[in-house]
Structure 1
Amino acid sequence: MNTTRGPVIPTVTRPTSVAGAARDLVEGGARPRAGGTDIATCVEAGVTAPGPLVDLLDVPELRGVRWADDGSARIGAMTTVAELGADPLLAGAYPGLAATARALATPQIRGTATVGGNLLQRNRCTYLRNPAFDCFQTGGDSCPARSGDHLRGVVVDQGPCAAPHPSSLAVALLAYDASVAVLERGSGAEVERDLAELYDGADPTRDHVLAPGDLLVAVALPRPVPGERAAHLRVAGRSRAEWPLVEAVVRLECAEEGRGPVTRASVAVGGVARTPLRLPGLERALVGSVPGRALDQGVERALEEVADLCSPLPATGYKVHLLQASVQSAIEQALGARNR
């Protein structure tokens, strides 16, 4: 049984460079602390064992948005969610990401939470965060949510754990084909990998694949598309509005700088699986759609086929319709389509 809880005063180092942070993570066996909105509650609940921390707040290399000559962007892992939502250049270049950031959680959380912390946070399963229970992530050999309370659980079943991944930014960044820069403990080198590679839905023991001592440095976004149409939709219950039941980000690259037919589409969803997901069948069906018009039959069929991806648990069947309806609404918002 997971019984570690209570007030803990950890050892904290405060490096002022990426090199110093990497050194402290390796030498001290410490965990990185970003905004601290998740790790503090995890330690208090016993989800995370108490131990030394490396506070990243004083590392300027990890903050802010840097623009390349081709218009692509690199966002430091310690940039806050509020900064993303308030950046007019970012909103113009990547409107789906900016809209997601503005809708995330609460103003207080957005002002403190960071890009890296949001991508690497622990899931919100009540069994994980209750010391009376063991699960795959606390050394157990089962998922108690599967036979217990899983009303907010997965509807696309990827593996033994039934808790959806909680990152909203991961959904938007997946839609933008983003990559992440990681300073690896083993080699000491910074490597770039697709954002999707941060997550493995088949592994029930962790919420991301980074090894202890690895440091997420930045997120890289490709060159923006002129006239992109985008929409973000988040569905949440009143009692736990901080965490979405379903989330969708739709990006449409259209001819004639946004006025003509769709030439490429990205549809990403969250709150439904152990990882954020893309819907490639629906993306293909959207090519050729015309802004301002109702969805054609091909898109409607592809929306119906989203249900074929789902394997709901006994209490998550409602999410099938919620997922389809949310994605359709986001598509219609992006297209400016008329409702039938």
Structure 2
Amino acid sequence: MTATTRPEGLDEALTRLDGTGARPRAGGTDLTACLSSGVLEPAPVVDLSGVAELRGAEWRPDGSVRLGALTGVGELSADARLADAYPALALTARELATPQVRNAATLGGNLLQRNRCWYLRNPAFDCFQTGGDSCPARGGDHLYGVVVDQGPCVAPHPSSLAVALLAYDASVLVAGGDRAERAVADLYDAADPTRDHVLEPGQVLVSVTLPVPVPGERAAYRRATGRSRAEWPLVEAVARLSLADGDSGPVASAAVAVGGVARTPLRLPRVEAALVGTRPGSPLDAGVERALEGLAGLCSPLPATGYKVDLLCATVRDVLERALDVPRA
């Protein structure tokens, strides 16, 4: 039986994690799966559910918000104030998994979960993340692998919430050693194939901070999956648009991010730049069309992931048309 402790404060939790080999547990949805599949060996568990500092939303006078890492995905999807201020995040949270999983999973757990590569999840194989010196998926069955090849491991990063938070230029607070604020993008390093995030053992993700919201923001989220329910995305995209002239003019700024295609979530700066000046309700103009065509140039598909090139372009197009309210034929 694995020993479990339940500290009441963050300092106590950090002490129990420091150099002990214990693992933190938030909602436990991914930790339980990793233990049952043999990805992780049994070890003491530090249950973070009693740490109040990791819970809840702290709204600031300027309208920005700090979200505790233990905030539930279900809470994110149902919070009307959050949906009004950060619609892309709420839309993304609503599409995750099933209601049962959303009610158990947490914001921090989603950001720090392990990838879904079937070689990692099968104890019969060794890979970079289990002490091996290779990626068996690269030369094996990688049908759901990356199409933007960033490094030795070819498993796409699994966090949908990271895609939305990347589009918001959100930051995270990490405790353990020194407390440090870092950009969400800096949680991930494609050059290191041995792990899915950069946190060291004993560190804890405390909170996520989103910047001051944009009034009247238009947003859309779209995922392409192999089946209609409870499926990991093959490609996903999120778009945020702000309009000039009090929400009646053309696009003044844009943020577009994608997931399911690389070892890290990605922003699409050329698509973002092309969207500026676009008018809602009108077909995508020539500049945006060229930027969408250029997405193929970002791709370096594996032998079995070439289908994701067209899927990426189509998914980004879909999310842009939804955010812009482009009429459908």
**Shorter-chain TM-score above 0.5:** yes
Contact preservation (8 Å) 1:106, 1:242: no
Q: What is the match of residue 205 of structure 1?
A: 194
Quote the offset at 1:28 in angstroms.
2.9
What are the Cα deviations for residues 178-217 of structure 1, in whole angstroms up to 9, with x where unaligned?
Answer: 000000x33xx32100000000011111000000011100
SS of 1:10's equivalent in the other structure is: coil
Q: What is the match of residue 220 of structure 1?
A: 209
What are the Cα deviations for residues 240-297 of structure 1, in whole angstroms up to 9, with x where unaligned?
Answer: 8431101000000111332211111100000000000000111111111111111100
Unaligned runs of 5+ in 1: 1-8
Quote the offset at 1:27 in angstroms.
5.3
Quote the offset at 1:31 in angstroms.
1.1
Pick from 201, 222, 232 the counterpart of residue 221 of structure 2.
Answer: 232
Quote the offset at 1:21 in angstroms.
1.1
- Tell me how far apart the structure 2 counterparts of residues 73 and 239 of structure 1 sit (CA, whole Å): 33
Q: What is the match of residue 142 of structure 1?
A: 134
Q: What is the match of residue 83 of structure 2?
A: 91
Quote the offset at 1:101 in angstroms.
0.3
SS of 2:89's equivalent in the other structure is: helix
Quote the offset at 1:338 in angstroms.
2.4
Q: What is the match of residue 158 of structure 1?
A: 150
- Tell me how far apart the structure 1 counterparts of residues 85 and 14 of structure 2 sit (CA, whole Å): 31
- Tell me how far apart the structure 2 counterparts of residues 257 and 24 of structure 1 sit (CA, whole Å): 51
Unaligned runs of 5+ in 2: none
Q: What is the match of residue 262 of structure 2?
A: 273
Q: What is the match of residue 313 of structure 2?
A: 324
Q: Match for 2:277: what amino acid?
A: G
Q: What is the match of residue 184 of structure 2?
A: 195
SS of 1:180's equivalent in the other structure is: strand
Q: What is the match of residue 3 of structure 1?
A: none
Distance 1:206 1:102, change over 3 A: same
Q: Give yes or no for the alignment of 1:260 onto 2:288.
A: no
Q: What is the match of residue 127 of structure 1?
A: 119
Contact preservation (8 Å) 2:59, 2:65: yes
Of 80-89 and 239-248, the range deviating more from structure 2: 239-248
Q: Give yes or no for the alignment of 1:38 onto 2:30.
A: yes
- Tell me how far apart the structure 2 counterparts of residues 207 and 304 of structure 1 sit (CA, whole Å): 30
What are the Cα deviations for residues 64-115 of structure 1, in whole angstroms up to 9, with x where unaligned?
Answer: 1110000000000000100000000000000000000000111111000000
Contact preservation (8 Å) 1:11, 1:53: yes
Q: Match for 1:322: what amino acid?
A: L
- Tell me how far apart the structure 2 counterparts of residues 227 and 310 of structure 1 sit (CA, whole Å): 33
Q: Give yes or no for the alignment of 1:249 onto 2:241.
A: no
What are the Cα deviations for residues 4-57 of structure 1, in whole angstroms up to 9, with x where unaligned?
Answer: xxxxx2111101111111111115331110000011111122211211111011
What are the Cα deviations for residues 156-191 of structure 1, in whole angstroms up to 9, with x where unaligned?
Answer: 0000111000000000000000000000x33xx321
Instruction: Count residues in correspondence.
Output: 329
- Tell me how far apart the structure 2 counterparts of residues 280 and 79 of structure 1 sit (CA, whole Å): 30
- Tell me how far apart the structure 1 counterparts of residues 16 and 44 of structure 2 sit (CA, whole Å): 10
Give every structure 1 segment of 4 or more consecutive aligned residues whose post-TM-superposition deviation is greater than 4 Å.
Answer: none
Q: What is the match of residue 284 of structure 1?
A: 273
Q: Match for 1:124: what amino acid?
A: R
- Tell me how far apart the structure 2 counterparts of residues 156 and 194 of structure 1 sit (CA, whole Å): 22
